[in-house]
Structure 1
C-alpha cells in the first residue's frame, strides 16, 4: 500500500456529547464492530463488574463517567479508524477542547428525550471555530423520546448548523420498529432486548406493498409520509457542505442495543474526511508531505499505576513516523529517538514500528514534553490551537503529610503537565494555587495524588475571580504594575507572569489604568 493510500484510509474522529447521552456506549459498540473488543463493558450495571473499555482510570470506574480522553484504534473493511472518546462532564471540558485539535471530524451524540444540552453547545462552538465536519447520532430510540422533527429543529437552532437526516426512525420507545437507512435505502428492523443487529432488508421503493410484510400498515404509512416530508423540507445531502462543517448528517438508533450503529459507521467511513492539513504558525502542513511532523495534544501520567510512567499523545500531521528514528523536539531544540512508541486500545498498548498522518501515537515521556510541543524532521514547526483556558475556580493546595512532601511535589508537577488543571505560585507568599474549570477536578487531583503517588493534600479557600496572563512592550509600566499588584502576582508552571484578579471590578480597573499591558484569558498568544 502506498503512502498516499495509507493516509486516505484513515479516519480520526472524536465522539462528543453532554454527560449521559451514551457517548462511551456508542464508542464501545463501534469497537465491537471493528472486532477490537469482544464484550462490551456494561457501563451502567453495578451487578456486572465490567466497566467501559474506554474508562480505565480507577476514579472513572467508580463514578461511571469519563474524566480523561481515551484513544482507541481498529481496522474495519479496509479503513483504519481512530476514535477519541472524550469526557462529557463540563468540569473536564479543557481536555475535550484540546482533543478536538487532534481530530479530522466529530460525531455528536444527542439523547432523544433530552435533546441538545449545554455542554454539547459549548463543544460545538469549538467545532464551528475550527470548521470541523460534524455528524449527529440521536441515541436511546428504544426509550420514550421527543418527535424526531422537533429534535432536528433543535439541533439546527442550538448547534447553528443545517441538518440532513440520512436515516429515519419508525416510532420510538415501546413503539420503536426500526430505522430506515435513507443513505443506503435499507430497512433495519428492531427487536427489543436483543444485543445482535438485524440484517437490513433492501427497499429501493418504499411504496412497495411488500413493506407491510415487515412493519405494521400504520407504521408503513407514517414512514412514507415522513420521508416525503424530509425530501421537501431538508436539502439533498451535499458532501462538500458536510466537509466544510456547514451541514450535519443525522442518524438515529440505540447504542445500548447495538442498533443503528452499523449504519452510522458505514456512512461515516464513506463520507468522513481522511487526515486534513494542520495549521502551524509559519505555514499550513499537508498530510502527504514527505517529512514527519506531529504535536503533543495530551499527556497522561500513570496509565499503568504499577509503573510510574507518563505518555505523551502525539497526533501525526505529516510524513511517515518510524520507531528508533531521530526526530527534532522543536521547543528543546534537540534530537530524540523513540524505542517504544505505542498504539492504543484504551489502556491496552502495543508497540508499533510505524504510523501515518491521522494516527495517534503514545510516546513514553520522562518529563521532556508539555502540551503543544512539536516533533519534526528538523523544521521549526509550532502547531496552533492548543490553549490553556483561564481557570474559574481556585484553591490553595497544602501538604497534609510532611513525610510525603517529595511525592506531593512530583505528583502535582506531573498532573499539571497533563493540563487537567493549572498551577500558580503566588509571588508574594510563595504558596501554591491550583486553578481549574470545574469543581470535580479538585476531587480527581486529590484522589489521584493519594492513589497514584501516595501523597495526601488538603485545600484551603482563596477568593479569586480570574487568572490572566500578562505581557507588555512597555517594560517600565509592566514593572510598575507588578509592584503595585504584588499580592496578586503569580507565575504559572512555565514561569510566565499571571495576574490573579479577585473581582471583575479589580480586573476592569487594572485594564483601564494600565493601557500598555495586554491581559490574556488563554495561554496561547
Structure 2
C-alpha cells in the first residue's frame, strides 16, 4: 500500500488543529471531533497543549484514503515552536497550508509558504473558516496571489460565505466553469495545451486537464486552493479526496538501500528514549543494528502505534532501542541537510528555585536539549542558559520542568544571543612537563577565521596516543568534541563560531596519559589562542518587510532610525531593510501608532554582524542585556 506523508501547517489560530481533527474523524480514526477549546483533541495530547490550546509538539496519526495510507503530521503554528515545524518539513511528501478566510495571509503564513516553495514540497492551500462572519473569497484569492504566490488555482467557489450555512461548489469541466479551465491552461506552462485550447476551447478533454493539474501540483509548481470549514465539515471531504490524487505518494516497498531519518525523540512509560523515524527507502527490522540494536517497532496506524516486525519505505513509526538517538540522526543512507529556518536569537538563564536542585536541573535540561537540539544548553560554572524563539517557549519549558521533572525554576530576563568570531589568527601550546602544564599531554592549536566550526588534526601518527584512542580517527573525533565544548564560551562569554581550529602538535607519555588529559588541556590552549587572535562580538540582524499606508510613509521612514533600522528600498507602500534583532520587538510595538493601525511588519533572521563597540555597553552578555533594556 502506498503512503502519503502529509504535513498540516499554518499561522497560529488559522484552524490547523481543527482541520486535523476533522480529517482524522472523516478517516475513521476518532469517534468524535476533538475541540481545541474543549481540550480533547487527538494530536494535542500533552496536558500543557490542551490547557493552552496550542500545538507544542509534532504529532502523527494515519488514516486511509482509498488505497493510500495518509500519515498526517500535525505541527505547531506558534512561531516559538518553529523548530518542530522544521523537523516535520524534512519528512513530508506534501503539505496543506491552512489560511483563515477572515484573517487571511499572516506573517507566519508567508514564512511557511516561502519555505515550502523553496524546498519544492507540493502544497495545497485550504482556506478555512468560510462560515465565520467576515469570511472572504475573491479578495482573499487576490491576497493569496499577491502575498504568497501567483501560481494558485481555486478549485471551488463559496456559497453563503460568512454564515453557518456556508458551503462550496466544486469547479471543473462544466461549461459554466470556463474561467477555471482558462486559468488552469494559463498556469499549466504547457505551450501545446495552450495552443490547442486557444484554437478550440472545447477540444481539450477534461482528462488531459486533470493530468496537467496533477503533474504541476506534484511538481510544486501549482497550488490548488480549497475552501471549507473545519468546524462544520464543509469542503473537507473534497480536500480529503484530492490528497492522494494531487500529492505524490511513496510505494510501501522494502527493497532498496536502508534510508530513514529521526525527526522526533520521546520517552516511553519507563523513561527510555523512543525515536520517531520516517523511512525513505528499504526497511528496518526488529533486531537490526542501526547502529544500536532495534528492540521493538511501532508503526503509526490510526491514532497510535501498532507493534510490527519492520518499517518500510514511506512508513512512519516509533523505533525502540536507539538509546542515544537524537533528532536529525539517520538510519542507513539517510540525509538531513542544513537548517531550514533561522536559529533562535534569544536566550535566558534558568535557575532552580531550590539551589539544591542544580544537578537535577542540568540533567533535565540536557534531556530536553537531546530532544530539541536548538535549545542549545550552555553552562558557565553553575549558571545554565537555554536558547529560545520567544517568551511562550520559555513558559512552556518552565511548565515542562515542573510537571515532567518536578523542578520549579525561575528565568532571568530574556536577552539577545550574540556570537563571537575570531578577528585573526592565533597560536598557543603547552608541552608535557613544562610551563606549568597541569596535564600529561602536549598540544599546540591554531585558530583562524572559517565557516561554522571546523577542526583539523595535522600531526604525524607517532604523536597520536593510540594506547588511549585506538585509532587516529577516534583521536580526531575526540579532539573535535573537546574543541566544540570549549567554544561554548568565548572571550566575552558568547559562543564562538565561524572558526577553524587546527591541532599542529600533540604528545603523550605511555601508558600514563589518559583522554582526560587532552580534555583538560584543550580549553586552556584554545583560550590562549583565541586571546592572541582576538574575537569580535556579533549581533543578530533581521530583515524586515513593512507594508504601510502611503500617507504614513514619511513618518515611518523618519522613525526607523530610532530602532537602528536601515531601509534598503522603499516604494509608496512598502519598506524593506535590516534591523538589529534586539530592536524588533520595540519596532513592532511602534508600528501601529505610526501607521494608524494599518502597518504590517514581517521579519526574518538575516545574519550576524559585528557589534559596534560603544561606551554605552561592553560585549559581555550581562552588560549587553542591560544596554538593550535601556534602549
Which residue of structure 2 lines up, in the alignment, with residue 291 of structure 1? 257
Query: Aligned partners of 1:313 and 1:56: how far apart in 2?
Result: 16
Paired residues of 1:372 and 1:386 also in contact (CA < 8 A):
no
Q: How many residues align?
A: 436
Deviation for aligned residue 1:96: 0.4
1:405 deviation in Å? 3.3
Corresponding position of 2:274: 311
Q: How big is the alpha-carbon RMSD for the aligned residues of Structure 1 and Structure 2?
A: 3.6
Preserved CA contact (<8 Å) 1:66 1:88: yes
Alignment of 1:39-58 (within 5 A): 39-45=32-38, 51-58=40-47
Partner of 1:440: 392
Aligned mate of 1:343, from 272, 275, 299: 299
Task: Work out whether 1:115 is the aligned partner of 2:68.
Answer: no
Which of residues 211, 221, 244 in structure 1 aligns to 2:219? 244
User: Is the counterpart of residue 509 in structure 1 residue 610 in structure 2?
Assistant: yes
- Partner Cα separation in structure 2 for residue 460 and residue 347 of structure 1: 39
Whole-angstrom CA distance in 1 between matches of 2:141 and 2:489: 54
Three-state SS of the structure 1 residue aligned to 2:50 is: helix
What is the aligned partner in structure 2 of residue 523 from structure 1? none
Aligned partners of 1:180 and 1:510: how far apart in 2?
57
**2:489 and 2:59 mapped to 1: Cα distance?**
45
Looking at structure 2, the residues matched to 296 and 251 of structure 1 have their Cα atoms a distance apart, in angstroms, of: 32
Distance 1:339 1:416 in 2: 24
Contact map agreement 2:82 2:341 (CA 8 A) in 1: no
3-state SS of paired residue (1:173) = coil
| 2:545 matched residue in structure 1 | none
1:372 matched to 2:361? The reply is no
Q: CA deviation at 1:327?
A: 3.4
Structure 1 counterpart of 2:491: 486
Q: Which residue of 97, 104, 126 maps to 2:115?
A: 126
- Could you tell me which residue of structure 2 aligns to residue 414 of structure 1? 367
Cα distance in 1, alignment partners of residues 422 and 372 from structure 2: 20
Query: Aligned to 2:348, what secondary structure does the other structure show?
Result: strand
How many Å separate the matches in 2 of 1:387 and 1:115? 24
**In the alignment, is residue 271 of structure 1 matched against residue 246 of structure 2?**
yes
Secondary structure of 2:367 counterpart: helix
Q: Which residue of structure 2 aligns with residue 363 of structure 1?
A: 319
Corresponding residue number in structure 1 for 2:350: 397
From the superposition, tell whether residues 177 and 43 of structure 1 become closer, same or farther in structure 2 (CA, over 3 Å).
closer
Structure 2 counterparts to residues 27-106 of structure 1, below 5 A = 27-45=20-38, 51-106=40-95
CA distance in 1, matches of 2:317, 2:612: 43
Contact 2:130 2:166 in 1 (8 A): no
**Bigger relative contact order, structure 1 or 2 (CA pairs below 8 A, ≥6 apart):** 1
Alpha carbons of 1:401 and 1:421: their partners in 2 closer, same or farther (altered >3 Å)? farther
Alpha-carbon distance between aligned partners in 2 of 1:34 and 1:346, rounded to the nearest angstrom = 9
Listed as ranges, the gaps of 5+ residues in structure 1 are: 1-5, 186-203, 206-223, 277-285, 329-334, 513-525
What CA distance in whole angstroms lies between the structure 1 residues aligned with 2:353 and 2:321? Answer: 28
Matched, 1:167 2:161: no
Q: Do the aligned residues in 2 keep the contact of 1:56 with 1:347 (CA within 8 Å)?
A: no
**Take 2:370 and 2:324, find their aligned partners in 1: how far apart are those partners?**
10
TM-score where L is the length of structure 1: 0.74
Give the Å deviation of 1:489: 3.5
Q: Shift of the alpha carbon at 1:89?
A: 0.6
1:448 deviates by: 0.6
Residue 500 of structure 2 corresponds to none
| Offset from partner CA, 1:319-348 (integer Å, 9 cap, x none) | 123223x233xxxxxx32222222336974
Q: Is residue 316 of structure 2 the alignment partner of residue 327 of structure 1?
A: no
* Separation of aligned partners in 2, 1:390 and 1:117: 21
* CA distance in structure 2 between the aligned counterparts of 1:348 and 1:320, rounded to whole angstroms: 20
The 1:438/1:462 distance shift into structure 2, 3 A limit, reads closer
**Can you list the C-alpha shifts for 1:34-84, whole angstroms capped at 9, x where unaligned?**
211111112224xxxx51111011110101111111111123322111000
* Aligned pairs for 1:140-179 within 5 A: 140-174=129-163, 176=165, 178-179=167-168
- Any conservation in 1 of the 2:86–2:341 contact (CA below 8 Å)? no
> Which structure would you say has the larger Rg?
2
Match of residue 260 from structure 1: 235
Report the TM-score when normalising by structure 2.
0.62
Give the whole-Å Cα distance in 2 for the aligned partners of 1:473 and 1:130: 37
Alignment correspondent of 1:477: 448
Q: 1:137 to 1:98 in 2, by over 3 A?
A: same
CA–CA separation in structure 2 for the residues paired with 1:309 and 1:484: 32
SS of corresponding position for 1:398: strand
Q: Distance in 2 between matches of 1:263 and 1:484?
A: 54
Say which SS state the counterpart of residue 319 (structure 2) adopts: strand
CA 1:471–1:107 in structure 2 vs 1: closer, same or farther (change >3 Å)?
farther
TM-superposition CA deviations, 1:360-392 (whole Å, max 9, x none): 11123664111211112xx5x543245684222
SS, match of residue 259 in structure 1: coil
Alpha-carbon separation, structure 2, partners of 1:13 and 1:468: 40
